[in-house]
Structure 1
Amino acid sequence: MLRKTWSLLLPVVVLTLGSCSDEKETAPAPTFELTTEITAGEPQFVVPGKSIELAYTAANVASVEAGGLGEGWSAEVDPTAGRIEIAATDDAVTRTTLKITAAGTNGESLAKEVELYCLNAFDDPQGVFVLNEGNMTTENGSLTWISPEGYVLDDAYRTVNGTELGNVAQDMAFCDGKIYIISQNGNKNPNGTTFENDGMLVVADARTLKRTAAFTNEELEDLDWPTHIAVLDERHVYIRDNRGIYRLDAGTKQLTFITGTDGAPKSRFVTMNGKVYTYLVKNTLGKILEIDPASDAAVTYSLPYTTTYFINDIKGIQAADDGRIWIMAFGFGESSIGKFDLSTRKIKQHLIGIEVSVGSNGVAFVARGNDVYYADGTTIYHLLFDDEGEDEVNGEGDPLSSDEPMIDVAALDDNAGLSYNGLGVHPVTGRVYINTIKSFALYTQNQIWGFDFAVSFENPAVKYENYTNFPAGFYFPAGN
Structure 2
Amino acid sequence: MKNRLLWSTLLLAAALTTASCSSDDTPAAEPTFEFTTGVETGMPVMVVPGTPTTLTYKAEHLAGLTAEALPQGWDIAIDPAAGSITLEAADDAVSKAVLRLSATGSAAQQPLYEVELRCLNTFDDPAGTFILNEGNMTTENGSLTYISPEGYVLDDAYRTVNGSELGNVAQDMAFCDGKIYVISQNGNRNANGAEFENDGMLVVMDARTLRRTASFSNEELAGLDWPTHIAVLDERHIYIRDNAGVHRLDGETGTLTFVEGSEDAPKSRFVTMNGKVYTYLSGLISKIYEISPESDAVNSIRLPLTGIECDINEVLGIQAADDGRMWIMTFGFGKTAMNKFDLSTQDIVQRQINIKPTAGASGVAFAAHDNLVYYADGTTIYRLPFDESAKLDAASGLDAVELLTDVSGLDPNAGQLYNGLGVHPATGHLLINSIKSFALFTQNQIWAFDPAGDFLSPLAKYENYTNFPAGFFFPENR
TM-score, with structure 2 as normaliser: 0.93
Asked if 1:411 corresponds to 2:387, the answer is: no
Residue number in structure 2 paired with 1:141: 142
1:54 CA displacement: 1.5
C-alpha contact (below 8 Å) 2:329/2:337 kept by paired residues: yes
Asked if 1:293 corresponds to 2:284, the answer is: no
Counterparts of 1:117-132 in structure 2, within 5 Å, are: 117-132=118-133
Counterparts of 1:317-336 in structure 2, within 5 Å, are: 317-336=318-337
C-alpha contact (below 8 Å) 1:445/1:465 kept by paired residues: yes
Residue number in structure 2 paired with 1:161: 162
Output one character per residue of 1:356-411: Cα deviation in whole Å (capped at 9) or x when no partner: 1111000011111111111111111101111236x64xx26633211111100011
Give the secondary structure class of the aligned counterpart of 1:406. Answer: strand
- 1:66–1:341 Cα change, 3 Å: same
1:37 CA displacement: 5.0
1:21 CA displacement: 4.7
Residue number in structure 2 paired with 1:112: 113
1:201 CA displacement: 0.2
For 1:34 and 1:398, the matched residues in 2 are separated by: 60
| Bigger mean CA offset, 367-376 vs 176-185 | 367-376
C-alpha contact (below 8 Å) 2:417/2:435 kept by paired residues: yes
Q: Residue type of the partner of 1:114? A: V
Residue number in structure 2 paired with 1:401: 399
Give the secondary structure class of the aligned counterpart of 1:129. Answer: strand
1:113 CA displacement: 1.4
Output one character per residue of 1:241-260: Cα deviation in whole Å (capped at 9) or x when no partner: 00000000011000000000
C-alpha contact (below 8 Å) 1:279/1:286 kept by paired residues: yes
Q: How many residue pairs get matched?
A: 464
Residue number in structure 2 paired with 1:4: none
1:57 CA displacement: 3.1
1:20 CA displacement: 5.2
Equivalent of 1:463 in 457, 461, 464: 461
For 2:117 and 2:103, the matched residues in 1 are separated by: 19
1:345 CA displacement: 1.2
| Bigger mean CA offset, 64-73 vs 284-293 | 64-73
Residue number in structure 2 paired with 1:180: 181
Q: Residue type of the partner of 2:422? A: G
C-alpha contact (below 8 Å) 2:143/2:159 kept by paired residues: yes
In the alignment, structure 1 segments of 5+ residues that lack a partner are 1-9
Q: Residue type of the partner of 1:252? A: T
Output one character per residue of 1:17-76: Cα deviation in whole Å (capped at 9) or x when no partner: 433552574565544332225422211111111111111233444332122423322211
Q: Residue type of the partner of 2:376? A: A
Q: Residue type of the partner of 1:271? A: T
Q: Residue type of the partner of 1:291? A: I
Asked if 1:353 corresponds to 2:344, the answer is: no
Q: Residue type of the partner of 2:427? A: T
Give the secondary structure class of the aligned counterpart of 1:160. Answer: helix
Q: Residue type of the partner of 1:449? A: W
1:453 CA displacement: 2.7
For 2:111 and 2:303, the matched residues in 1 are separated by: 72
Output one character per residue of 1:233-276: Cα deviation in whole Å (capped at 9) or x when no partner: 00000000000000000110000000000110000000000000
Residue number in structure 1 paired with 2:10: 18
Give the secondary structure class of the aligned counterpart of 1:399. Answer: helix
For 2:415 and 2:234, the matched residues in 1 are separated by: 40
For 2:402 and 2:419, the matched residues in 1 are separated by: 21
C-alpha contact (below 8 Å) 2:184/2:227 kept by paired residues: yes
- 1:397–1:421 Cα change, 3 Å: closer
| Bigger mean CA offset, 46-55 vs 199-208 | 46-55
- 1:324–1:219 Cα change, 3 Å: same
In the alignment, structure 2 segments of 5+ residues that lack a partner are 23-27
| Bigger mean CA offset, 16-25 vs 443-452 | 16-25
For 2:447 and 2:219, the matched residues in 1 are separated by: 38
| Bigger mean CA offset, 130-139 vs 396-405 | 396-405
For 1:287 and 1:110, the matched residues in 2 are separated by: 65
- 1:307–1:186 Cα change, 3 Å: farther
Q: Residue type of the partner of 2:218? A: N
| Bigger mean CA offset, 423-432 vs 18-27 | 18-27
Counterparts of 1:23-422 in structure 2, within 5 Å, are: 25-26=21-22, 28-36=29-37, 38-103=39-104, 111-282=112-283, 284-308=284-308, 309-388=310-389, 392=392, 395=393, 398-422=396-420
For 1:207 and 1:89, the matched residues in 2 are separated by: 15
For 1:280 and 1:247, the matched residues in 2 are separated by: 18
Q: Residue type of the partner of 1:176? A: D
Output one character per residue of 1:151-186: Cα deviation in whole Å (capped at 9) or x when no partner: 001100000000000000000000000000000000
For 2:111 and 2:357, the matched residues in 1 are separated by: 59
C-alpha contact (below 8 Å) 2:418/2:468 kept by paired residues: yes
TM-score, with structure 1 as normaliser: 0.93
For 1:326 and 1:345, the matched residues in 2 are separated by: 13
Residue number in structure 1 paired with 2:25: none
Residue number in structure 2 paired with 1:447: 445
| Bigger mean CA offset, 311-320 vs 112-121 | 112-121
C-alpha contact (below 8 Å) 2:12/2:31 kept by paired residues: no
For 2:166 and 2:307, the matched residues in 1 are separated by: 44
C-alpha contact (below 8 Å) 1:444/1:468 kept by paired residues: yes
- 1:157–1:307 Cα change, 3 Å: farther
| Bigger mean CA offset, 403-412 vs 90-99 | 90-99
Output one character per residue of 1:80-101: Cα deviation in whole Å (capped at 9) or x when no partner: 3221111112222222211112
